[in-house]
Amino acid sequence: MSTIQADPAPPSDPLQEEGSTGRAGDSIFRGLATGAGMIIMLALAGVAIFLVLQSIPALGASGEQAYGADNIVVYIWPLLFGTVLAAVIALVIAAPLSIGVALVISHYAPRRIARLLGYLIDLLAAVPSVVYGLWGRETLQGWVFPIYDWLHDNLGFLPFFEGPVTTGRTILTAGVVLAVMALPIITALCREVFLQTPVMHQEAALALGATRWEMIRMAVFPYARSGITSAVMLGLGRALGETMAVALVLSASGIVTFNLISSQNPSTIAANIALNYANASGTKVNVLIAGGLVLFLVTFAVNFLGRYLAARGRAKA
């Protein structure tokens, strides 16, 4: 008579056993990590609730209470336009430059030079925004004025360079300053992503006869696509929320225009709050906070879109 032997029990997972024993260290670490995450969520919810409640009185503001606008929408719309325009200009300048610098550091420069260049790029992130603003106001606007004059003379038929050129403190100058401020963030993240590309993939491409650029295009970029997207979106968030640099550089008049080199420039939400909050009172404070709520929602949407695109890129990889 044959006997039926039961299958041996599958090997247990040490991590599961360790978690199930309820060790004090694991429980404390789990609680601290969960608590930290909850604190962040509560702080974010608290900020959102504060902005919403303080913005409600601004819904009916008009005239003097809304800084001369007919209603809150008419007041905030040019500021939102200027915020997005300045951030897009910064991103158009900073994104390709940052990716190029990151590639030089990770794949082209000798190790010693790459390390020094990486340190210098990282130091740019430590410079206060007010210093960037003063640099843009006192130095950069003088450098770019002849360039704007040339753009007006040769490309004035385009709506971006209609002019007239009377100052270097334009929305384009503010975009350049924001690009310099976003560059270290995008560069640092792209550099780390490029360095994480599997060496075997790169060596296989080179062994098949690819040049270094072809290897980067076929092996590094596909692997780092989601990381590049996240870095660019993080840089966009940095540009959207910048305050003092834009407030110091921009000669704003609160209009909606695509003319990038004129003295008539749209302002940004953050810069407008910084310039007007000290003298605001009553409903004007609520109007400024309503602008902050719009900026909060735009920044949240940008971060959400960045995470979505990064996750989609990882799924395709």
CA neighbours closer than 13 Å in the CB half-sphere of residue 51: 16
Q: Output the average pLDDT for the chain.
A: 84
Residue 92 makes CB contacts below 8 A (sequence gap 6+) with 175
Please answer whether residues 310 and 226 qualify as being in contact, where contact means their C-beta atoms are separated by less than 8 angstroms. Answer: yes
In tens, the pLDDT along 129-143 reads 889 989 998 899 889
Here the tokens at position 178 are: 């924001």
- Residue 49 to residue 34: CA distance in whole angstroms: 22
Q: Encoding tokens for residue 9?
A: 């029990």
Q: What is the pTM of this model?
A: 0.83
Summarize pLDDT for 158-216 with one digit per residue, the tens.
889 887 888 888 999 999 999 999 999 999 989 989 988 888 888 888 888 888 888 99
Confidence grade of residue 22 (pLDDT, cut at 50, 70, 90)? low
Question: What is the model's pLDDT at position 4?
Answer: 47
Residue 11 — pLDDT band, cuts 50, 70, 90? low
pLDDT of residue 274: 85
SS3 state at 116 = helix
pLDDT over threshold 60, residue 21: no
Burial class, 110, CB count within 10 angstroms (exposed 0-12 / middle 13-18 / buried 19+): exposed
Average pLDDT rounded to a whole number, residues 269-298: 88
Walk me through the domains of the chain, giving residue ranges and CATH numbers.
61-316 (1.10.3720.10)
